[in-house]
Amino acid sequence: MSGTPVIEMRGITKSFPGVKALRGVSFACGRGEVHALCGENGAGKSTLIKILSGVYRPDAGEVLIDGETKHFSHPQQALLAGISVIYQEFSLLPERSVAQNLFLGREPLRNGLVDSKAMVAETRRVLGLFGVRHRIEPDTLVADLDVASQQMVEIAKAVSLNAKVIVMDEPTAALNEAECEVLFTLVEQLRASGTAIIYITHRMREVTRIADRVTVIKDGEVAGSFDQVPAPEAVVRAMVGRDISEYYPEPATPAEIGRPVLTVAGGNNSALRDINLELRAGEIVGFAGLQGAGRTALAMALFGAKSFATGTMTLDGETVKLNSPRDAIRAGIGMLPGDRKASALVLMQSVRDNGMLTARAFANLFGTADRNRFTDVDGMNALLDRIKVRAPSYEQEMRFLSGGNQQKAIVARWLALKPKVLIFIEPTRGIDVDAKASIYHLMRDLARAGTAVMMVSSDLPEILGASDRILVMREGRIVGEFGRSATETELMLAATGETDVAA
């Protein structure tokens, strides 16, 4: 970094009633620099950005733009000073065209009327700057664009405002791998043109890929500041506040992998083609692939929610026909859905009730709720204790727990039933680093106890770190099988179909 940073925040402190959100945080970003801002959920990243963009005012500390102290009392002022923030929820108007969104509130006028021609021309020019002119037409309605293109429009808007600083808040959250690459290229172009970029993420891969410097925030303080991008472990250690050399547990030894528990031969349905697979006791099999490649459809077929139309499925050597999740659970297959809020949690019920739900579903309807043949209240309490579900009380309603603790409670639901096969879909989506590690260890403990574990995940490092064997899916088929020594590139190539690797 040379000269005065474009943006500098010094000793920022901010309190909310009852919480000190930020304590003496300093942060700077220079021209043509990508500065990654990392931290767990709730660490204070968002508060810092909201102070930068004028949404909040700091209790102490100052914000300097090009070396001058500024006091923003309104986001509009920050915008005029050249600070653009691209939030996870876009601020585009869906029923307006791309050009109209770009010029929202500052439409060029000619003879007192909006000069549409100038708007379209300028939009074309800006989109052309980063080579997406052929992808996005200025007249298209924003609602008709995919998420990645909408993000492009957000960035184009920032560029057309001559932003000196662009803040991107977890920009890849909704993007697939190919779209991420386009975004990274775009970020590199912006950097080359001298824009300062603050890039908020907790994905180490992205830090390594595009950041020049890294600042880690933990509990409202700067926990680590790196002028060069360090090894991912160093960043994660700063985020979590302890050494996590055991982030991913040890893989299974060959001796631990046992007999095949579940096999599918020639499985087909509307979303799946010719599925042949084998899940073995003691093994964690990771399923990688792009969105819509059929991984979730496969999980749903195995779980009886959307069964195979043809093909045979065996469980412990016996042919089974599963017509509902209830059939699957009775046969010994469990599943943790990817969208916890929509598909796994009963949010108004207690943590313990969530844990006991499936056990109760298979008990005598008019028997006592306190105990059944799988577990009882004390047993569930002990289980929740053992897997360290953090709640003030297990009587607490589920909705007040953090994502990580909610997920652990759902794991407890299945642990109580001791399934033969357990399917995890995006097991760590939206939960923080610390809780992720414990989910991986829970998965491994289950495998060690003889369960066959299937893990569907879009997070490649997670696939590589937590699986014993990796299957890649594309267009409803299993197109590749890899060991845990595979690389992300190999998996990506198989997932996108650049090269076909025989299963």
Partner 1 sequence: MTDQTLARPEAKKRSLPHFNPVYVLVVALILAIIVMNPAFGEPTGYMNFLKRVTALAILSAGALYVIVSGGFDLSVGSIMTLTVIGSSMLASNDPNSTYWIIPLMLGIGAVVGLVNGLVVSYLKVPSLIATLGMMITLNGVAFMWSGGAPRGYLPDTFRFFGRYNITDVPVITLLPIAVICLFGFGAILWWGLHRTNFGRLLHAVGDNPQAARLAGVPVERVRISAFVVSALTAVLAGVILGGRAGVSVDIGSGFELQAITAAVIGGAQLLGGRGSVPATIAGALALEAIFTLLNLLGLAQPVRLVVQGLILIGAVALATYQRKRSGR
In the complex, the smallest distance separating the C-beta of residue 243 from partner 1, rounded to whole angstroms, is 23
In the complex, the smallest distance separating the C-beta of residue 216 from partner 1, rounded to whole angstroms, is 16
400 sits near partner 1 (criterion: CB under 8 A): yes
When the beta carbons of 129 and 357 are compared against partner 1, the nearer one is: 357
User: What track of x and - describes contact with partner 1 for positions 407 through 426 (by CB under 8 A)?
Assistant: ------x-------------
357 sits near partner 1 (criterion: CB under 8 A): yes
Phi-psi category of 439—alpha, beta or left, where left has phi over 0 and alpha has psi -120 to 50? alpha
Query: Residue 241 contacts by C-beta under 8 Å, 6 or more apart in sequence?
Result: 218, 219, 223
Stretch that binds partner 1, among 73-81, 394-402, 439-447, 487-495 (CB under 8 A): 394-402
> Which helix (H) or strand (E) covers residue 233, if one does?
helix 232-240
When the beta carbons of 64 and 347 are compared against partner 1, the nearer one is: 347
**Binding partner 1 by CB under 8 A: which of 42, 260, 311, 379?**
42
User: What track of x and - describes contact with partner 1 for positions 46 through 65 (by CB under 8 A)?
Assistant: x-------------------
E strands within 160-195?
Answer: 165-169
Question: Residue 254's closest CA among 491, 469, 451, 503?
Answer: 469
Q: In what order do the strands lie in the sheet with 83-86?
A: 83-86, 165-169, 196-200, 34-38, 213-218, 221-226
E strands within 17-87?
Answer: 19-29, 34-38, 60-65, 68-70, 83-86
462 sits near partner 1 (criterion: CB under 8 A): no
**Binding partner 1 by CB under 8 A: which of 2, 73, 253, 393?**
393
∠454-171-489 over CA atoms, to 5°? 50
Return the DSSP state at 251: P
**Binding partner 1 by CB under 8 A: which of 112, 342, 485, 498?**
342
When the beta carbons of 185 and 324 are compared against partner 1, the nearer one is: 324
Segment 145 to 184, residues that bind partner 1, using CB under 8 A: 169-170
* Neighbour-count burial for 217-232, b at 16+ CB within 10 Å, e otherwise: bbebebbbebeebeee
Amino acid letter at 411?
V
In the complex, the smallest distance separating the C-beta of residue 399 from partner 1, rounded to whole angstroms, is 5
In the complex, the smallest distance separating the C-beta of residue 257 from partner 1, rounded to whole angstroms, is 28
Query: What SS3 class is residue 325?
Result: helix
**Binding partner 1 by CB under 8 A: which of 128, 367, 483, 497?**
367
Which residues lie across from 38 on neighbouring strands? 216
Which residues lie across from 425 on neighbouring strands? 456
310 sits near partner 1 (criterion: CB under 8 A): no
What residue ranges bind partner 1 (CB under 8 A)? Answer: 18-19, 41-42, 45-46, 88, 169-170, 303, 305, 325-326, 329-330, 335, 337, 342-349, 353, 356-358, 360-370, 372, 391-393, 396-397, 399-403, 413, 430-432
